[in-house]
Amino acid sequence: MGYMNPASPAPGVTDLDERVAALNARYVGQPATEVLRGALRDTGRVALVSSFGAESVVLLHMLAVCDPARPVIFVDTEMLFPETLAYQREVSARLGLGNLRVVRSEGIADGDPDGLLHRRDPDACCALRKARPLDRALAPFDAWITGRKRFQSGSRANLEPFEAEPGTGRIKVNPLAHWTSRDVQAYMSGHDLPRHPLVAKGYPSIGCAPCTSPVAEGEAPRAGRWRDRDKEECGIHFVNGKAVRAGAPS
């Protein structure tokens, strides 16, 4: 039975908030594959967004099992590690992902002519190379699926499987929200999935090459992203309508 919006939501609560709350209640305690299937069935037009990073293959494999023709959006910032681009090709071919959409920024020549914007203003660089092209690619969709997990950083500690995305009217789906690092590794081993080659070199979280460094033992998985900068997210993921900063309340 499909979801039916209430006639009059409580003050300050939107229809989208009500829908997200109902989805979280419906799928509470359900395994990730059921959350994913629910998203594919219950959230309208939906795409998976993947960085083809350190843990991305888990969700890509789940999607390949459930619906290999579903759109997969990959943002090529043109500053990615060569290993990431090679891994993207390898994983896409092995899993038979039939609807991969590679998107790039249309404004790099004007917005970052010397390729050094990431040093001067990393927020502006992320917006130019990643957030804006992704927003354009997501325009036709009602929802999108991400691989975020609670254990990755403090700002994600209260992550739920379904979220209302501020300002867009879209739903964000996090099927692996409650997974631990051990869960991820067990799934990859159990399905004999290929590892990103940089993981063995100390990169548990992988973004653009200039802004990603290896992580030492005992550090948080995302400690190597924008190291020594007041920055934790690329601008694609927001909390209360704002890009999350390091040290922001979770």
Would the pLDDT of 89 be above 60? Answer: yes
Whether the per-residue pLDDT at 174 is higher than 80: the answer is yes
Quick check: 235 and 77 in contact, CB under 8 A? no
Q: Please, are residues 141 and 46 in contact by the beta-carbon 8 Å criterion? A: yes
pLDDT band for position 25 (50/70/90)?
very high
The answer to whether residue 5 scores a pLDDT higher than 70 is: no
Which residue would you say has higher pLDDT here, 34 or 236?
A: 34
Per the domain annotation, does 189 fall within a domain? yes
Does some domain include residue 214?
Answer: no
Instruction: Check whether 41 has a pLDDT greater than 70.
Output: yes
| 47 within domain boundaries | yes
Does pLDDT of 80 surpass 60? Answer: yes
Q: Is residue 221 part of a domain?
A: no
Judge whether 181 lies within some domain: yes
Q: What is the mean pLDDT of residues 30-58?
A: 96
Residue 74 resides in a domain? yes
Q: Which domain covers residue 116, as residue numbers? A: 15-200
Per-residue pLDDT, 156:
60
At CA 198, angle to CA 196 and CA 203, rounded to 5? 110
For the domain that residue 177 is a member of, what is the CATH number? Answer: 3.40.50.620
Structural domain includes residue 227: no
Residue 7, SS3 per DSSP: coil
Residue 242: pLDDT band (50, 70, 90) is very low
Q: Average pLDDT for residues 224-230, to the nearest whole number?
A: 72
Average pLDDT, the chain: 86
Sign of the Cα pseudo-torsion (25, 162, 141, 66, in order): negative
Of residues 244 and 247, more confidently modeled: 244
pLDDT of residue 71: 98
* Number of domains composing the chain: 1
> For residue 247, what is the enclosing H or E element?
none
Instruction: Kindly state the average pLDDT of the residues 31-50.
Output: 96
Average pLDDT over residues 61-66: 97
- Of the ranges 36-45, 66-75, 149-158, which one carries the lowest mean pLDDT score? 149-158
* Per-residue pLDDT band at 236 (split at 50, 70, 90): low
Tokens of 41: 């069935």
Instruction: Report the residue count for the chain.
Output: 250
Q: Are strands 100-103 and 72-75 parallel, antiparallel or unpaired?
A: parallel
Residue, of 112 and 240, whose pLDDT is higher: 112
User: Does residue 234 have an active-site annotation?
Assistant: yes
Which residue out of 126, 208, 211, 234 is catalytically annotated? 234
Tens of pLDDT, residue by residue over 90-148, are: 999 999 999 999 999 999 999 999 999 999 999 999 999 999 999 999 999 999 999 99
Share of the chain above pLDDT 70, in %: 83
53 located within any domain? yes
